[in-house]
């Protein structure tokens, strides 16, 4: 059996050590679960990142990889992927002649991703959200990165609808950290109005759920925006949940995207192909 294509996890745009450590943790989880697949991760589009994508590619090549299946660590297709990631991979192929690669799809609102979001909701409320009456008075604000591409932003709205279905919360609204409307304060205004209409006379309770995988600077910006709004409305309970992080379900979705990419042989410098004996 020949060696399967290596898995390269491509995060976007962080210089934050917390985000880098979360990506390292995800790589460790995947390496432990799938020891037959060489795996590494790094960031593109962020000069000065503590975990550069170039170093991840170089490391895989040193380990004998000649083909890469590249999975963007994003939950929605955003502007950087169509341009910056293929450019970074093309430069890597120039440094390593003969290196083949194929880019897979982002993670999207996969059911396992939604399961982790629901877990973050429960954690933010100390487990009390598992009671039907408690969830019924909780409004969720799902916050995406934000992009200039309306189709990318629409993916966040799709995730919000899927998250709302069957989970018993009062509602799920959307907002964006930057580049798109509504911004976080406007999203919180909407949540507060909905909570007041649903339960007049009762304090509004809002959970802000980050719709991105890694902690870091983006999460800190979100937290500061939410805290700034909350200070102006002390009668409203606002809790900012953790990012998805290196959960087992996230690793499973990454591996699912990897297998689909290998099977499809998506175009690249030299498309990867599935080995006959690959699981």
- DSSP per-residue codes, 212-224: SSS-SHHHHHHHH
**pLDDT tens for residues 210-230?**
999 998 888 999 999 999 999
Q: Average pLDDT of the chain?
A: 87
pLDDT of residue 15: 76
31 vs 13, residue with greater confidence: 31
How many CA within 13 A on the CB side of residue 28? 9
| pTM of this structure | 0.88
Is residue 98's pLDDT more than 90?
yes
Beta strands in the chain (DSSP E): 6-12, 39-44, 67-72, 100-103, 138-144, 171-176, 205-210, 237-240
Is residue 26's pLDDT more than 60?
yes
Domains 6-107+246-264 and 111-240 share a fold: yes
Confidence band (pLDDT; 50, 70, 90) for 273? very low
Residue range 6-107+246-264 forms a domain whose CATH class is alpha beta
CA distance 209 to 45: 25
Confidence band (pLDDT; 50, 70, 90) for 242? very high
CA distance 230 to 237: 8
Is residue 186's pLDDT more than 60?
yes
pLDDT of residue 58: 96
**pLDDT tens for residues 40-97?**
999 988 777 889 999 999 999 999 999 999 999 988 776 555 578 888 899 999 999 9
Matching CATH number, 111-240, of 3.40.50.300, 3.40.50.1400, 1.25.40.10, 3.40.50.720: 3.40.50.1400
> Percent of the chain at pLDDT above 90?
63
pLDDT of residue 167: 87
Taking the domains of the chain in order of start, what are their residue ranges?
6-107+246-264, 111-240
Confidence band (pLDDT; 50, 70, 90) for 139? very high
pLDDT of residue 277: 29
CA distance 75 to 117: 12
How many CA within 13 A on the CB side of residue 270? 11
């Amino acid at each position: 059996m020949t060696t399967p294509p290596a898995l390269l996890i491509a995060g976007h745009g962080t210089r934050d050590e917390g985000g880098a450590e979360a990506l390292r943790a995800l790589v460790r989880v995947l390496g432990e679960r799938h020891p037959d697949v060489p795996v590494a991760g790094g960031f593109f589009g962020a000069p000065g990142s503590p975990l550069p994508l170039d170093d991840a590619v170089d490391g895989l090549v040193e380990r004998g990889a000649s083909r890469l299946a590249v999975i963007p660590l994003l939950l929605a297709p955003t502007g950087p992927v169509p341009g910056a990631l293929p450019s970074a991979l093309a430069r890597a192929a120039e440094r390593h002649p003969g290196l083949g690669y194929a880019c897979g799809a982002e993670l999207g609102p996969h059911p396992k991703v939604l399961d982790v979001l629901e877990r973050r909701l429960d954690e933010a409320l100390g487990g009390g959200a598992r009671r039907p009456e408690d969830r019924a008075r909780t409004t969720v604000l799902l916050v995406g990165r934000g992009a200039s591409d309306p189709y990318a932003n629409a993916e966040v709205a799709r995730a919000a609808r899927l998250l709302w279905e069957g989970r018993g919360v009062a509602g799920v609204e959307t907002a964006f950290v930057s580049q798109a409307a509504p911004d976080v304060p406007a999203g919180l205004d909407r949540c507060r109005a909905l909570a007041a209409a649903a339960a007049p006379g009762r304090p509004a309770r809002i959970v802000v759920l980050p719709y991105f995988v890694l902690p870091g600077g983006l999460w800190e910006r979100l937290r500061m925006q939410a805290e700034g709004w909350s200070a102006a409305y002390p009668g409203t309970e606002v809790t900012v949940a953790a990012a998805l992080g290196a959960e087992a379900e996230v690793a499973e979705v990454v591996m699912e995207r990897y297998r689909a990419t290998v099977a499809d042989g998506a175009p690249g410098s030299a498309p990867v192909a599935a080995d006959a004996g690959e699981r």
